[in-house]
Amino acid sequence: MNKKNRRGVFKAFTACTLSAFMLLSSGCGSKSGNPNADEDGTIYVIGKQQLSFWDDVKKGAEDAGKELGYNVVYSVASGDNDYSTQGDDIQKAIKEKAKAIVIAPNGKTELNDALKRAEDSGIKIVYINSRAEYNDALTLVRCSDTESGSLAARSAVKLLEKDDPELKGLKNVAIIGHTAATAEDRISGFINTFTSLAEDGIVNMNAKENNAEKTKSAQVEAYKKSIILGAQCAKRDKAKEEALKILEAHQGEISVMYGTNTNTTLGICDAVSSMDLQDDILVIGFNSDAEELGYIKTHVLDGTVIQNPYMIGYVGVRFAKKAIAGENLPTRLETGALFVDADNISNDYVQLMLYPDKAGEIANGGEG
């Protein structure tokens, strides 16, 4: 597979829900605040880890707080498996009598007791990005991890088909997941979609009609066997080590590598770049960290699934305000995902997703 000659894969995929866009368009840029809101109210927003994704969540949350007249206190854990820091932040919210907590929990059960104490103190709980097994939170605002994994798989196949329409040269597909609960859905969404493509007839097989079903079945089984699941990694350097281990164990036998978050994506890119394999291996990532975007520009990363972190933070705080007011909330709101590659990264809509704080500049024809 020669990626140097690959061009024009497909146009931007837009998946933001209408409801979320209506929320965003209801005055997102206003800084004046709502004079009728509770000026003394505090909403805690607790993120997962220190990455640019969570910087954008913070921007969205703070903009919503300014509009609504609430004080937004933002904090973030050191990594996506650090639930201890998040537990401490929940305790701070209780001590300071916050009205609501908007949280992306890093643990499935580890935060349950702290969340219950918060609710028992009258604090409203809103999940963003992920959820814990504490089921009394009022809503979940997120990008669907399963659909995002599926989008990654569909995009990978489209890219592969540009050079090999029948996918005859497909070898192994390696996946390195992160340690948070979201990884499971991003992996299953990818695998289920990737392995179903042959069954759905997307692969053009030159088989005689009486052998077509047998050939198709064999292709599906071959796809399943081609997938290599690496160890889950919380840190970028560990993801690089895991990627190098896979590449060295399967020299010349890897067609695709997929990372399920920023750290795993960057670790894969580091490994592929260090072995000068960027022209031979299709790399699909997740999220929109500045270094990931840099790897797109150098053609190490072929594309990445981006969420809408600004929207997640913004809607999370708006929903928290509604919960405080006793209004009904949907049990879940999906904010959509987008696949970004070198061909669409300069599109205005993609730039708005990547740089929400530069919305005015982009709208006026700036570089973003």
Q: Which domains does the chain have, with CATH numbers?
A: 3-9+145-306 (3.40.50.2300), 18-143+308-335 (3.40.50.2300)
Q: Are the C-beta atoms of residues 349 and 12 closer than 8 Å to each other?
A: yes
Measure Cα distances from 367 to 77, 130, 355 in Å: 32, 33, 10
Q: Using one digit for the tens of pLDDT, what is the confidence trace for 108-162?
A: 899 999 999 999 999 999 999 999 999 999 999 999 999 999 999 999 999 998 8
Cα 247 from Cα 284, distance rounded (Å):
15
φ, ψ for residue 303 (rounded to 5)?
180, 160
The pLDDT of residue 354 is 87
Contact criterion met (CB below 8 Å) for 75 and 89:
yes
DSSP letter for each residue of 322-338: HHHTT----SEEE---E
**Tens-digit pLDDT profile for residues 74-116:** 999 998 889 999 999 999 999 999 999 999 999 889 999 999 9
| Per-residue tens of pLDDT for the chain, all 368 residues | 444 433 222 222 233 333 444 444 333 333 333 444 445 599 999 999 888 889 999 999 999 999 999 999 999 999 888 999 999 999 999 999 999 999 999 988 999 999 999 999 999 999 999 999 999 999 999 999 999 999 999 999 999 988 888 777 888 999 999 988 789 999 999 999 998 875 554 444 433 344 555 555 666 666 667 899 999 998 999 999 999 999 999 999 999 999 999 999 999 999 999 999 999 999 999 999 999 999 999 999 999 999 999 999 999 999 999 999 999 999 999 998 999 999 999 998 899 888 877 665 655 555 43
Q: Where are the alpha helices (DSSP H) in the chain?
A: 18-24, 52-68, 83-95, 112-120, 145-163, 182-199, 212-226, 236-249, 262-274, 290-297, 309-324, 348-354, 359-363
pTM of the model: 0.77
Distance CA(278)–CA(256), nearest Å, equals: 11
- Partners of 257 in beta bridges: 174, 283
